[in-house]
Chains A and B, each alone.
Chain A
Amino acid sequence: MSNSDENGAKTDAPKGLVGGPPTGDLDARIRAARQRGGYGEYKTEPKEHLSGHAKAARLGTEFIAAIIVGGFIGYFADMGLGTSPWLLLVMVLVGFVAGVMNVVRSAARMNAEAIITPKMDLGPDTHRDDADGK
């Protein structure tokens, strides 16, 4: 875990701006490389925010978690108020709705962020004209 192994090989190379020739013409070299081009495209290239696996990992638990939270709230409210089992039933339903909403909301955000490339297989009966990238 030390830097010496890779720095040791080039101890004679100057570090930073204090050095002479090796970095002295850095400005000119960067300008030349920019003129050759190909560097700007790297930044603008669209990238998916989450991989497919990461998306899948999100949705399942978001649904279940809301039901669990709803159930817990209902159960303890029932214990406190002595209205068993009505609040539990209501809150599990509310939790279910919240879970569906969680999933719909995350999926909508994923869809909005999705990048559709011309080569992508969108499944049968999809017309290219519909796919406006959103």
Chain B
Amino acid sequence: MANDPIKQFKITDIFTIGGEGETGGFEIAFTNSALFMVLTVVAISAFLILSTRGRGLVPGRLQLLSEMMYEFVANMVRSSAGTEGMKFFPFVFSLFMFVLVANLFGMVPYFFTVTSHIIVTFALAMLVISVVIIYGFMRNGLGFLKLFVPAGVPGYVLPIVIPIEIVSFLSRPISLSVRLFANMLAGHITLKVFAGFIVSLSSLGAVGVLGATLPFAMTVALTALEFLVSALQAYVFAVLTSMYLNDAIHPSH
């Protein structure tokens, strides 16, 4: 089938390193996913470096764009995690830009969507939650465990409340990764299925071509929606990251 909606997510090796006898027998593959991650990082770096190279007091268009990106994320971190959270600004900004550009790259035809694989989004979410846990213990010591003990709860309910709070905390990386992955995966499949309808319908002759205008209109609308979702999911990911970092800084509810 030419328009298999799942085929776009297939991982293929571009080249491999090692294998027999080398690198301890492990084969390290450079896949199309890795290629697009590299492209994403290169695009972000190139954009930010080139657009701020002028350092004009009155910014040009591109410089203004990167300054807006900076201020957008800076305001987000400051309002969710406070001024103290600003030490995590580079972290949140990198995550936001990576997810945003990877999502937008996925909208280009024939490009691979890095964030449509749960292992990628889960790795990002684990990175976030590891930072929260490590910094939380570093800053607050054992006081970080107050996160699991809501204030004003009588002692005899604590055996019930603490497991619930722990499960609630552990669900954060899952919900963070599943949200991004599911949105990208579902969106791209929907887009591909509706676009496939156009081909199948228009092969039925004149009536089919007429009917194919309906899924065509749908595909156009869905493309716009997907651009919205791409930006929105990057935003949600970054907002929740800064909210979780806020918990690491102020662990009491």
Q: Which of A's residues lie within 8 Å of B, judged by CB?
A: 1-3, 6-7, 15-17, 23, 49-51, 53-54, 57-58, 61-62, 64-66, 68-70, 73, 91, 94-95, 97-99, 101-102
Contact = CB atoms under 8 A, between A and B. Distances in A.
Nearest to B240: A58
Of residues B172, B174, B239, which shows the largest number of chain A Cβ atoms within 10 Å of its Cβ? B174
B103 interface: no
Contact of B57 (A15, A50, A57): A15
Interface of B: 46-47, 50-51, 53-54, 56-57, 60-63, 79, 163-165, 167-168, 170-172, 174-175, 178-179, 182-183, 228, 232-233, 235-236, 239-240
A57 B168 contact: no
Contacts of A57: 179, 183, 232-233, 236
B164 A53 contact: no
3 closest Cβ pairs, A-B complex: A65-B175, A66-B171, A65-B174
Contact of B175 (A7, A62, A70, A91): A62
B164 A17 contact: no
22 contacts: A1-B62, A3-B50, A3-B54, A6-B60, A6-B62, A23-B57, A53-B228, A54-B235, A54-B236, A57-B179, A61-B175, A64-B175, A64-B178, A65-B174, A66-B167, A69-B167, A69-B170, A91-B167, A94-B164, A95-B167, A101-B164, A102-B171
A65 B171 CA distance: 5
B54 A7 contact: yes
Given A6-B62, A16-B57, A69-B170, 10 more contacts: A3-B51, A3-B62, A3-B63, A6-B60, A6-B61, A57-B236, A66-B175, A98-B171, A101-B164, A101-B168
A94 B167 contact: yes
A16 B168 contact: no
Contacts of A101: 164, 168
B54 A73 contact: no
B77 to A, nearest CB: 12
A16 B239 contact: no
Contacts of B233: 57
A80 B239 CA distance: 37
Contacts of A7: 54, 56, 60
Contacts of B53: 3
A51 to B, nearest CB: 7
Contact of B168 (A3, A49, A53, A98): A98
